[in-house]
């Protein structure tokens, strides 16, 4: 069961400060009040998810709205390389370079004020917009396979992927969103994420986005 915090019926209370909050703060003296009941809470080190347990042993996942959550995952596709495969391995690296150059131009045209060190693309970059921090990461397909192998070992859900995607003409993309303001944002994070993707894709005739379904997005969170 997932509990969403609010300041009326589901909130954190700190014995240290005698204050209540809808945002989790790591402290051994922090409790969650839910409909008048007290729930012990802690941050799961594997998933960066807030976990609670009451006196009856019932376990909860707590969503305070500030988790750094994966909202969109899928493939940035160059031309029609989601439908065909590169046969000539000599052409593959050239196609990959064309994809990266095309994507760079599309991003730079869409968000020239937000892009920093685009040549370091595969380590990701961040955009702060409308009360959120968006972290965008791009990976080769082989990297996703390795990440999913690690997640399997740790008992975590796989990143959704499509093994039929071409290794040269596509890149795997992840976009995380984290609320960074105490004020209620004007727009939902998923709407802003979709706007970012739409703006980038429409700035190039050679790119498209193929979305992968994310089940239970709260379980795909970034560490601190």
109 within domain boundaries: yes
125 and 162 belong to one structural domain: yes
Q: How far apart are CA 137 and CA 38, in angstroms?
A: 38
Q: How far apart are CA 174 and CA 108, in angstroms?
A: 18
- Which contacts (CB < 8 Å, 24+ apart) does range 187-190 have? 187/130, 189/71, 189/132, 190/71, 190/72
Beta strands in 37-169 (DSSP E): 37-43, 50-53, 59-63, 69-78, 125-129, 132-139
The domain tally of the chain equals: 2
Q: What is the pLDDT along the chain (224 residues), one digit of tens a residue?
A: 899 999 999 999 999 999 999 999 989 899 999 998 999 999 998 888 999 998 888 999 999 999 999 999 999 999 999 999 998 989 999 999 999 899 888 887 887 766 554 344 456 777 888 999 888 888 988 899 999 999 999 888 899 999 899 999 999 999 999 999 988 899 999 999 999 899 889 989 999 999 999 988 888 998 65
197 within domain boundaries: yes
Q: Where do the H-state alpha helices sit in 50-118?
A: 92-110
78 and 49 belong to one structural domain: no
Which of 41, 63, 85 is where one domain is finished?
63
159 and 205 belong to one structural domain: yes
Q: Which domain holds residue 26?
A: 2-63
74 and 181 belong to one structural domain: yes
108 and 214 belong to one structural domain: yes
pLDDT at 169: 96
Which of 44, 63, 82 is where one domain is finished?
63
pLDDT at 178: 92
224 within domain boundaries: no
């Amino acid at each position: 069961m997932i509990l969403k915090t609010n300041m009326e019926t589901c909130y954190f209370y700190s014995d240290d400060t005698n204050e209540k909050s809808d945002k989790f703060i790591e402290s051994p003296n922090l409790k969650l009040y839910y409909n008048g009941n007290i729930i012990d809470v802690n941050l799961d080190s594997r998933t960066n998810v807030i976990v609670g347990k009451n006196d009856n042993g019932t376990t909860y996942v707590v969503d305070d709205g500030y988790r750094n959550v994966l909202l969109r995952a899928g493939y940035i596709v160059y031309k029609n390389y989601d439908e065909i495969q590169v046969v000539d391995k000599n052409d593959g690296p050239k196609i990959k370079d064309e994809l990266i150059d095309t994507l760079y131009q599309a991003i730079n045209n869409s968000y020239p004020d937000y892009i920093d060190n685009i040549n370091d693309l595969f380590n990701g970059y961040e955009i702060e917009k409308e009360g959120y921090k968006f972290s965008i990461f791009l990976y080769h397909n082989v990297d996703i396979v390795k990440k999913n192998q690690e997640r399997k070992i740790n008992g975590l859900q796989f990143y959704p992927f499509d093994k039929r995607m071409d290794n040269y003409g596509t890149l795997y993309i992840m976009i995380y969103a984290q609320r960074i303001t105490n004020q209620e944002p004007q727009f939902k994070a998923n709407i802003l994420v979709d706007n970012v993707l739409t703006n980038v894709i429409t700035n190039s005739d050679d790119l498209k986005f193929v979305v992968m379904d994310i089940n239970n997005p709260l379980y795909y969170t970034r560490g601190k």
